[in-house]
Amino acid sequence: MVSTGFLMTKVSFLFILVMIGFTLGKRFTIELKTISTLLLYLLSPIVVFSGIAQAKLLPMYSLIPIFFFLFSLTMALIALKFGRLFWQDNTRHLFALSCSTGNTGYFGLPVAMAILDETGVALVIFAMLGITLFEYTAGFYITARGQYDVRKSIQKLIRLPFFYAFLAGLLINLTQLELPSIITDQLPIFKSSYTMLGMMMIGFALSSVTRKDIDWKLIGLTTLSKYLLWPCCVIIVILLDQHFHQWLDDIMIQVMLLISVVPLAANTIALAVELNVHPQKASVAVLTSTALGVLIIPVYLSTLTQWLI
């Protein structure tokens, strides 16, 4: 069983990065647009490329990214329709993106590296790829449509380097080419920077929040989605598999549980900044989710792992 205290130590450090970002944001003028551009156009593609290029691809593991891509897409479409009941502006597009993604990269991946073996970490990267693929395709488009027309939204979509990084990594993996050591030796630097800047960006954005940026409906509904609806749906899938097919092994179950309880995606802020869709509102919701995650995630993971495995 995963130790609750051990997990709390790991996730608390990530929350500390948020607080450091907040402190720096209050003390200095930090351009969110610059940080989001760095994450979206440099660090994220490098992490995705290295993850898929170096992962051990097994046919059964393809179920993980496919499942989370389809699950995220379903959640987004439901949230977009449901959001009309609460918002008449493009906040509902931000709500759809928030409900359909999770902080797999900056939050889930560091936790996975602390508690899982190499196969588990590779599977988390696979799950991350499924959610990230949604985030940078359908999720990006849905959010962009809250601010731009169809043509402009598609233009912004195809400019993202994620697709090209994903395809390049897949090509390297399938052709079994080995990356030069001069490249692989430097990749951990980019991964660490990706986590650090991603979590600190929440604090940067929060430092400029005003009272009018606090949307209690957005905070409440996204929190319920992330810490109630997501884990419940994943648990149902796991129980159904255990009863009927038994396709999922223990490590796949652990990964699915971890991904289901990570907080709101910090990339939500980066995309909101890029598309000018209420980045301050996004930062408050993401911070709330991250703060709750410090307490909720260790308990969830230790309890659910013991129950289901």
Q: Which of the listed ranges 173-177, 258-262, 268-272 does the model predict with the highest average pLDDT?
A: 258-262
CATH 1.20.1530.20 fits 4-308, yes or no: yes
Measured distance CA(162)–CA(40) in Å, rounded: 8
What pLDDT band is residue 44 in, cutting at 50, 70 and 90? confident
CA distance 13 to 233: 28
pLDDT of the residue at 299: 85
The reported pLDDT for the residue numbered 74 is 95
pLDDT value at position 93?
92
Q: What is the pTM of this model?
A: 0.83
Higher pLDDT, 73 or 249: 73
**pLDDT over 80 (residue 281):** yes
Task: Give the pLDDT band (50/70/90) at residue 57.
Answer: low
In 3D, which of 147, 115, 92 has the Cα closest to residue 258?
A: 115
Q: Which of 249, 248, 215, 250 is nearest to 91 (CA)?
A: 215
Half-sphere exposure of 93 (CA within 13 A, CB side): 22
Residue 124 to residue 61: CA distance in whole angstroms: 10
CA distances from 298 to 34, 70, 128, 169, 303 (A): 33, 26, 20, 32, 8
Is 1 a residue whose pLDDT tops 60? no
What does the domain layout of the chain look like in residue ranges?
4-308
- What are the structure tokens assigned to 232, written together? 């419940």
pLDDT of residue 2: 55
Which of 15-24, 270-279, 295-304 holds the top average pLDDT? 15-24
pLDDT, position 4: 66
Rounded to whole angstroms, the Cα distance separating 21 from 23 reads 5
Q: What is the pLDDT of residue 142?
A: 87
